[in-house]
Amino acid sequence: MLRGAATGEEIVLRSRWIGGLIAALAACGAAAPASALECPDPEGVASRSVLQQTPAEIEATGKRLASGDPEKATPAVVADLRARYPKADAADLVNYVITAYCPVINAYPTLSEAEKKARMDAFVKQLLDNVY
């Protein structure tokens, strides 16, 4: 995890990782059917992740992110998760928050699939900025 001032090498690595993740998300979107935003499934209690939360807790996190401006809520959600799960790595945090928020976006009946994907892409970029 990057904390505090980052070195030039860390910034380059972070930029490459973020760019790669965004490219992978875009490729997944291109390969997925145009009729549905595919959200990740919760990992479940058998996973290696230290973020062992119930479906109700995941849903509550999604609602918390959607209850106002997700850009403002995300840092608080991430800080809360870090406080409760200090051994969780950055990837676990990102996966968990995406898993919680994606169904919220997917449930908007007035958004087209392209709009849903655009909102998720923007959210993921903002989330990565908060976590790394």
Instruction: Give alpha helix (H) positions in the chain.
Output: 8-31, 55-66, 70-84, 90-106, 113-131
Structure tokens at 87: 């051994």
Statement: residue 35 has pLDDT above 60: no
Statement: residue 45 has pLDDT above 70: no
Distance CA(101)–CA(39), nearest Å, equals 9
Q: What is the pLDDT of residues 121-131, one digit of tens each?
A: 999 999 999 99
Domain residue spans of the chain: 8-131
Find the angle CA(63)-CA(96)-CA(29) to the nearest 5 degrees.
Answer: 90
Statement: residue 36 has pLDDT above 80: no
Task: Give, as one character, the DSSP assignment of residue 65.
Answer: H
Among 26-35, 43-52, 53-62, 91-100, the minimum mean pLDDT is found in 26-35
Inter-CA distances, 13 with 2, 7, 16, 35, Å: 11, 10, 5, 34
